[in-house]
């Protein structure tokens, strides 16, 4: 990280999320907006690294696993993830391209 600041959370992308990201990027390439979508993904990843326990809305609490499932939309990327209650771990389950509102 720039300036020697390390992220608070380690973010792991499950195979399903990796597949989702590949599909999102392929679609963005075909639509000619890869740079914008990639920037949105990087911004979302940064939010997960620093604000995972407060980001978005809690959708489920797996008490025995000490995981809280959350959902949020960061720019054009919708993400479902679980964050550990005590450890700085984030597991991204799914990524989807969020619906865009056209201001024209």
Express each pLDDT in 27-44 by its tens digit.
999 999 999 999 999 999
* Residue 3 located in a structural domain: no
Question: Using one digit for the tens of pLDDT, what is the confidence trace for 43-89?
Answer: 999 999 999 999 999 999 999 999 999 999 988 899 999 999 999 99
Domain boundaries, position 64 = 8-97
Q: What pLDDT does 10 receive?
A: 96
Question: Using one digit for the tens of pLDDT, what is the confidence trace for 5-19?
Answer: 556 999 999 999 999
* Residue 25 located in a structural domain: yes
Q: What pLDDT does 103 receive?
A: 43
Q: What pLDDT does 75 receive?
A: 83
Q: What pLDDT does 100 receive?
A: 60
Number of domains in the chain: 1
* Residue 16 located in a structural domain: yes
* Residue 104 located in a structural domain: no
* Residue 46 located in a structural domain: yes
* Residue 2 located in a structural domain: no
Contact 50, 83 (CB under 8 A): no
* Residue 31 located in a structural domain: yes
* Residue 102 located in a structural domain: no
Q: What pLDDT does 7 receive?
A: 64
Burial of 76 (0-12, 13-18, 19+ CB in 10 A): buried
Instruction: Say which CATH number the domain at 35 has.
Output: 3.30.2310.20
% the chain with pLDDT above 70: 88
């Amino acid at each position: 990280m720039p300036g020697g600041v390390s992220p608070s959370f380690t973010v792991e992308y499950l195979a399903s999320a990796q597949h989702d990201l590949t599909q999102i990027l392929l679609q963005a390439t075909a639509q000619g907006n890869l740079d914008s979508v990639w920037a949105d993904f990087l911004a979302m990843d940064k939010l997960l690294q620093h604000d995972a326990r407060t980001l978005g809305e809690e959708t489920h609490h797996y008490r025995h696993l000490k995981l809280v499932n959350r959902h949020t939309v960061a720019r054009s990327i919708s993400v479902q993830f679980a964050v550990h209650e005590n450890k700085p771990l984030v597991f991204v389950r799914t990524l989807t391209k969020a619906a865009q509102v056209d201001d024209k």
